[in-house]
């Protein structure tokens, strides 16, 4: 950042990490006034102001979550910095695609922390870069999504000022969804009526508004499709809305306490019916970290996990972009793996309670395999499956249809669903849930690999970057000696 013109876009995987990184960067006096933050909890006005200031600046660093992956013009970026890899290649491409459009060259700096996850993260980054250069993306058929259908039905009634409206008129307005016919719309409207969001006419095939619909409109819930667990409280500076955070932060905030938000430190002035009122603080520390909710990282998806497996047997110092120190750690791991097995193997190792299979099948498929395996399963992660007794993978079904019953058992209503997804009839919720499974065109290839692979016993520690991952202490911030 010593250059007179230099702009970096720094991606973090969580809002809390975003604040922690900006806090560490602002501790450097030369950077204090040029570090911005950008994430979804900030108010639209504050995010827009950040975008404008960052775009206009000659020297600046913006620390962001996925909110700046696409669709927002923030000017030319000299380099994109990533602390920890995203869980899929699509997100990786969106992030690095923001960098250095002036020279038609992407400058990406991928950072790993000095923990036991370092080798895993380095290998994931190398796999993502390989896929990006090769132009490879996961293939999937078009999905049939019903999540916004209830929202659209209620919006139509609201636009007609709540008047009773013929079902056919609602169906005509939703004709853009080729897989949605009148019977489906009738079922959705009937479910919404049963839950009090609309009402059916006494003797006509018509639906009209209820007080609950107007209440949703008054609270702006009708105009967005947000997760059920997203009840929020406002953060205010005077009359200015700074942003919103989950309501359970009320149990932690107290007048006089200091916190970080929007890249600055604030003191809690008061808590009332409007929200949490803040005032700027000159403190050099903060008492509490806000909680932002969210589902968290769910491990690697199937496409990235599968290609990570293949990279173990093809990566070399000449074909990757790692620095020498990182490559030395990675080379030690992949050398041990290549001595013990090959790309057509299914390695496994004994553990105290049973057997660990290194499937490299991704979070969802390993959870499905756990259901297929039955009662003997101990745990399933994105890269491993642990069972008490050996599995005969030759019996593994070769099609997604045959495994669908196991997929369906994993579906359950949750706070991660949107308000309107939870208003759908249960079978439509289930159908939407299984779409990503049924339309995944890469899945048969992974199933075939697992079914035909030769099971090979390897010594414990051969896959040390997996066996020891997560045991190292992760720091929320960024220190000079942590990279």
What does the pLDDT look like over 256-273, one tens digit per residue? 999 999 888 999 999 876
The Cα-based distances of 63 to 36, 41, 233 in angstroms read: 6, 14, 23
Residue 236 has pLDDT above 80, yes or no: yes
pLDDT for 472: 37
CATH code reported for the domain at 6-111: 3.40.50.300
Domain ranges of the chain: 6-111, 149-218, 232-280, 302-467
pLDDT for 389: 92
- Using one digit for the tens of pLDDT, what is the confidence trace for 99-149? 665 667 788 899 988 777 889 999 999 999 999 989 899 998 888 888 888
pLDDT for 305: 95
Average pLDDT over the chain reads 86
Better pLDDT: 147 or 473: 147
Better pLDDT: 37 or 472: 37
340 three-class SS: helix
Residue 17 has pLDDT above 60, yes or no: yes
pLDDT for 285: 85
Tokens of 154: 């209620």
Better pLDDT: 70 or 316: 316
pLDDT for 122: 94
Q: Which of 106-115, 343-352, 374-383, 408-417 has the lowest mean pLDDT?
A: 408-417
Residue 480 has pLDDT above 60, yes or no: no
Assign 471 a pLDDT band (cuts: 50, 70, 90). very low
- Using one digit for the tens of pLDDT, what is the confidence trace for 154-173? 999 999 999 999 999 999 99
For 274, phi then psi, to 5°, come to -75, -30
Assign 230 a pLDDT band (cuts: 50, 70, 90). low
Assign 315 a pLDDT band (cuts: 50, 70, 90). very high
Q: Which helix (H) or strand (E) holds 425?
A: none
d(CA 455, CA 453): 6
- Using one digit for the tens of pLDDT, what is the confidence trace for 364-401? 999 999 999 987 899 999 999 999 999 999 999 988 99
Residue 312 has pLDDT above 70, yes or no: yes
Q: What topology does CATH give the domain 149-218?
A: Arc Repressor Mutant, subunit A (1.10.10)
d(CA 478, CA 25): 8
pLDDT for 274: 73
pLDDT for 231: 61
For 349, phi then psi, to 5°, come to -145, 145
Largest Cα–Cα distance of the chain, in whole Å? 77
Residue 243 has pLDDT above 50, yes or no: yes
pLDDT for 483: 37
Locate all alpha helices (DSSP H) within 160-195, ordered by sequence.
167-173, 182-194
pLDDT for 393: 95
pLDDT for 475: 36
Assign 175 a pLDDT band (cuts: 50, 70, 90). confident
Q: Which of 176-185, 309-318, 327-336, 463-472 has the lowest mean pLDDT?
A: 463-472
pLDDT for 476: 39
Residue 297 has pLDDT above 80, yes or no: no
Residue 411 has pLDDT above 90, yes or no: no
Beta-carbon contacts of 127 under 8 Å, excluding residues fewer than 6 positions away, are 304, 307, 308, 311
d(CA 119, CA 336): 13
d(CA 162, CA 198): 9
Better pLDDT: 245 or 225: 245
Residue 473 has pLDDT above 50, yes or no: no
User: 138 and 89 in contact (C-beta within 8 Å)?
Assistant: yes
Better pLDDT: 473 or 43: 43
């Amino acid at each position: 950042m010593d250059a007179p013109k230099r702009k970096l876009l720094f991606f973090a995987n969580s809002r809390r990490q975003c604040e922690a990184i900006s806090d560490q960067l602002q501790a450097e006096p030369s950077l204090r006034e040029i570090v911005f933050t950008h994430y979804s909890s900030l108010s639209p006005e504050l995010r827009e102001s950040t975008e404008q200031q960052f775009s206009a600046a000659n020297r600046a660093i913006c620390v962001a979550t996925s909110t700046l992956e696409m669709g927002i013009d923030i000017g030319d970026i000299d380099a994109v910095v990533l602390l920890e890899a995203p869980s899929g290649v699509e997100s990786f491409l969106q992030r690095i695609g923001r960098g250095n459009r002036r020279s038609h060259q992407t400058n990406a700096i991928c950072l790993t922390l000095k923990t036991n996850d370092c080798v895993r993260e380095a290998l994931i980054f190398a796999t993502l870069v390989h896929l990006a250069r090769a132009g490879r993306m996961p293939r999937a058929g078009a999905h049939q999504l019903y999540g916004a259908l209830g929202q659209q039905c209620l919006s139509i009634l609201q636009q007609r000022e709540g008047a009773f409206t013929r079902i056919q008129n609602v169906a005509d307005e939703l004709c853009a969804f080729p897989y949605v016919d009148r019977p489906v719309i009738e079922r959705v409207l009937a479910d919404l009526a049963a839950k009090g969001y609309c009402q059916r006419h006494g003797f006509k095939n018509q639906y009209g508004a209820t007080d609950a619909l107007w209440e949703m409109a008054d609270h702006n819930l009708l105009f967005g499709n947000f997760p059920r667990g997203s009840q929020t409280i406002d953060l205010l500076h005077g009359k200015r809305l700074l942003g919103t955070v989950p309501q359970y932060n009320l149990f932690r905030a107290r007048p006089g306490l200091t916190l970080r938000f929007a890249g600055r430190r604030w003191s809690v002035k008061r808590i009332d019916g409007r929200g949490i009122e803040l005032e700027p603080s000159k403190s050099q520390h903060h008492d509490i970290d806000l909680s932002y909710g969210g589902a968290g990282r769910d491990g690697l998806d199937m496409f990235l996990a599968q290609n990570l497996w293949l990279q173990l047997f093809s990566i070399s110092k000449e074909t990757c972009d790692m620095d020498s120190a990182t490559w030395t750690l990675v080379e030690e791991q992949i050398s041990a793996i290549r001595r013990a097995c090959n790309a057509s193997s299914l390695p496994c190792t004994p553990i105290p309670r049973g057997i660990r299979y290194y499937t490299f099948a991704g979070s969802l498929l390993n959870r499905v395999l756990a259901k297929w395996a039955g009662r003997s399963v101990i745990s399933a992660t994105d890269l491993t499956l642990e069972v008490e007794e050996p599995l005969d993978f030759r019996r593994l079904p070769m099609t997604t249809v045959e495994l669908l019953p196991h997929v369906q058992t994993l579906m359950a209503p949750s706070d991660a669903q949107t308000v309107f997804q939870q208003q759908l009839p249960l079978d439509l919720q289930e159908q939407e849930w299984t779409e990503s499974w049924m339309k995944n065109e890469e899945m048969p290839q992974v199933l075939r690999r697992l079914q035909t692979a030769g099971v090979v016993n390897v010594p414990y520690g051969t896959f040390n970057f997996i066996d020891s991952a997560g045991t190292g202490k992760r720091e929320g911030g960024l220190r000079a000696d942590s990279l």
